[in-house]
Amino acid sequence: MKKTIKYAYKQTIPVAVGYIFMGIAFGVLLSREGYNPLWAFCASTFIYAGSMQFVLVSLLHDAAPLITVAIMTFLVQCRHIFYGLGFIDKFKRMGIKCPYMIHAMTDETYSLLCSVKYPPDIDEDKCSFYISLFDHIYWILGGVIGALIGEIIPLDFTGIDFSMTALFIVIFINQWREMTSHIPAVIGLCSAALFLILLGPDNFLLPSLLLTVGLLCVLKKRIKNEISDASAEKEEN
């Protein structure tokens, strides 16, 4: 048992740094909007989603309507639909832990669970559970520390909200490198820019999201061709 926990902990060390750092950034941001650490604790515990919690702060700031919140969340999080696919049998066999394993499936935990190698003397299911749990604890810890920093330390944190922009630029670059078709990224950029100019900063989000999904469906054939051409080329090489 102890061995399993120790092994799980070792696997999560790379995530710890990132989660505590980004968690702190989130906590500071949320506290700047006037929410005490309990709110940060609840968000990191019950929502537990990196980028979406940053978006949450903006949505609160803008007093966005609940329908926009729901659609925005769905579109930002829909990549998670695919994370579960490889783990259906594994999580189901974990019984009572299954709902928690589903909840704790973030980008980082997903990539850890995909790549971790379980030695023969380690209980695989217990180990994955502790990996999920440790990552979750780092994230909560970061969020609460950040909220406390924001509340207690009388520093002028103006501008720390740029960490969200920076995070998205980084994700954008990573995805640009991975994607063989750049049409989706261009569609998103153009739809958002178009409605920002037409409707202004307060009302552009929802129409941009809907236009983006619409255009992705309309241009499905073309984008799919680019994706499959590239993978065919890879195979040839």
Partner 1 sequence: MPVSVGYSIAVFAVVAIVTYFTRSLPFVVFGGKKGVPKIVIYLGQVLPSAIIAVLIVYCLKSINITSAPFGLPEIISSLVVAALHLWRKNTLLSIAAGTVCYMILIRVMAV
Find the binding residues for partner 1 in span 149-168 (CB under 8 A): 158-160, 162-168
Task: Rule CB under 8 A: choose which of 120, 201, 235, 236 binds partner 1.
Answer: 201
Nearer to partner 1, 64 or 122 (CB): 64
> Which parts of 95-134 interact with partner 1 (CB under 8 A)?
98-99, 102-103, 105
SS3 106: coil
- Number of H helices and E strands in the chain, helices first, is 13, 0
Q: How far is the CB of 51 from partner 1 (least distance, A)?
A: 7
Q: Give the binding range for partner 1 (CB under 8 A) out of 111-119, 131-139, 141-149, 190-198.
A: 190-198
The rounded distance, in Å, linking the Cα atoms of 72 and 54 is 12
Q: How far is the CB of 16 from partner 1 (least distance, A)?
A: 12
Q: How far is the CB of 3 from partner 1 (least distance, A)?
A: 29
Q: How far is the CB of 204 from partner 1 (least distance, A)?
A: 7
> Which parts of 15-54 interact with partner 1 (CB under 8 A)?
17-18, 21-22, 25, 33-35, 39, 42-43, 46-49, 51-53
| Cα separations in angstroms, 144 against 39, 42, 139, 225 | 9, 9, 9, 46
Q: How far is the CB of 121 from partner 1 (least distance, A)?
A: 29
Q: Are 191 and 208 in contact (CB under 8 A)?
A: yes
Q: Are 106 and 49 in contact (CB under 8 A)?
A: yes
Chain-centroid distance, C-alpha 118: 26
For residue 89 the two structure tokens come to 């049998």
Task: Specify the DSSP element, H or E, that contains 116.
Answer: none
